[in-house]
Amino acid sequence: MVDIATRVWNHKWKIDPIVRSLIDTDFYKLLMCQTVFRRHPKTRVTFSLINRTKSVPLARLVDEGELREQLDHIRSLSLSRGESTWMRGNTFYGKRQMFTPAFMDWFENLRLPAYHLERVGDQYELTFEGSWPEVMLWEIPALAVLMELRSRAVLHDMGRFEMQVLYARAMTKLWEKVERLQKLPDLRIADFGTRRRHSFLWQDWAVQAMQEGLGRAFTGTSNCLIAKNRDLEAIGTNAHELPMVYAALADTDEALRQAPYDVLADWHDEHEGNLRMILPDTYGTGNFLKHAPDWLAGWTGIRIDSGDPVEGAETAIRWWKERGEDPRQKLVIFSDGLDVDKIEELHARYAGRVRVSFGWGTLLTNDFRGLVEGDALAPFSLVCKARSANGRPTVKLSDNPEKATGPEDEIARYRRVFDIGHQERREVFV
């Protein structure tokens, strides 16, 4: 039976929107946004989108008009009553009312600020300027829009059954991963794949497949909209943008050296439990931990997001021991470029030594590698980062020089201030 109303509804779409909700974003964005809204509402920032995979000619694949329509649509979004209720009423990590009434009032009235889009060769330059709490909310939807428009472009000329088989193959591929993960005792794993997902519907499918296949081992999703719709826990804490902007705003080398700890001191004031997660790699994990204040060793755990994950975890374990903490009580979240092989390896290595959790991103929500000719649906490395704060450039070093961003002279200065020695280069996959 044809549902005529649905068919007519489909006809009248001006566009088929990719992002349909302001909470179709990572939970940590909203957490960080509240902190920024409270403490740095006037800070001016620039975010820009960069395609690190130059071999994917985004501007040739994706029509500029369609991209503008999608971005304009996002600017038309505002928080719905149900979304607001979910944010105000939900329990996150057992804590109620994580978002203050003041923040919610502001967020309910928010529209995302203007964007600047320009085609440069085969790539797009997409930048956002304005107050930090507003601009920062562009990151995830901007990435998701470009990723999905690229998927749509590749799928555009496929036959109906060819396309169904493509998704059949992708489902099979993902399910085979789930079947391998089912074998890992006491696994804890969450979806962190919003930003570089193949599409919204595919992420939603992947999350539900993980829910059915892994049961309680699947701890939730970073995507607030999907968490809300699928009755899951929203997962996340904080990201590099906080230390990057704090660092850019530092007036002296001494203040710069202190900036990453200032971030966490502010965070400490506001949060507890699972939200007290250290993200140590913005300017090198080793030095960060070495000079960290003692109260930080009391935090719940650490998230390892660049460099060799084993080296990162071992460094953290040594550090906890030095500070008199029991690593077996500590949580280590691995979240960098994971796939099942790596998850199995890290799970085996750290079982019993620390509490382990995995934040599985792109290869959960966008593993279409090898499924179409020329690998045209393989995920690629698109990022959207803070580039400046109050007119000063931002810098990220991370534990992998391939992931460093910022002007060269500033990178050099940061490397000196943070006393970074040799860093091993690792290929950035996604």
Binding residues vs a copy of itself (CB under 8 A): 1, 3, 5-6, 9, 159-162, 164-165, 167-169, 171-172, 175, 208-209, 212-213
Residue closer to a copy of itself, measured from CB, 13 or 161: 161
What values do phi and psi take at 245, rounded to 5? Answer: -75, -45
The least CB distance from residue 258 to a copy of itself, in Å, is: 49
Residue closer to a copy of itself, measured from CB, 97 or 172: 172
Residue closer to a copy of itself, measured from CB, 2 or 120: 2
Whether the CB-CB separation of 399 and 281 falls below 8 Å is answered with: yes
Burial class (CB in 10 A: 0-12, 13-18, 19+), 225: buried
Kindly state the tokens that stand for 82.
Answer: 């149900």
The least CB distance from residue 147 to a copy of itself, in Å, is: 22
The least CB distance from residue 2 to a copy of itself, in Å, is: 8
Residue closer to a copy of itself, measured from CB, 6 or 252: 6
The least CB distance from residue 211 to a copy of itself, in Å, is: 8
CB atoms within 10 A of CB 81: 8
For residues 77 and 112, give the distance between their C-alpha atoms in angstroms, rounded to a whole number: 8
Q: Considering only CA atoms, which of 279, 307, 261, 303 is closest in space to residue 404?
A: 307
Residue closer to a copy of itself, measured from CB, 114 or 158: 158
Question: Which residues make Cβ contacts (< 8 Å) with residue 50, sequence separation at least 6?
Answer: 382, 383, 384, 385, 405
Residue 123's DSSP bridge partners are 120
For residues 49 and 204, give the distance between their C-alpha atoms in angstroms, rounded to a whole number: 24
Residue closer to a copy of itself, measured from CB, 3 or 427: 3
The least CB distance from residue 168 to a copy of itself, in Å, is: 4
382-389/355-360 β-pairing: unpaired
For residues 37 and 140, give the distance between their C-alpha atoms in angstroms, rounded to a whole number: 18
Residue closer to a copy of itself, measured from CB, 164 or 390: 164
The least CB distance from residue 369 to a copy of itself, in Å, is: 15
Strands (E), 157-258: 189-191, 218-221
The least CB distance from residue 44 to a copy of itself, in Å, is: 43
For residues 336 and 239, give the distance between their C-alpha atoms in angstroms, rounded to a whole number: 13
Residue closer to a copy of itself, measured from CB, 45 or 207: 207
Task: Annotate 393-408 with DSSP letters as a single string.
Answer: EP-B--SSGGG-BS-H
The least CB distance from residue 376 to a copy of itself, in Å, is: 17
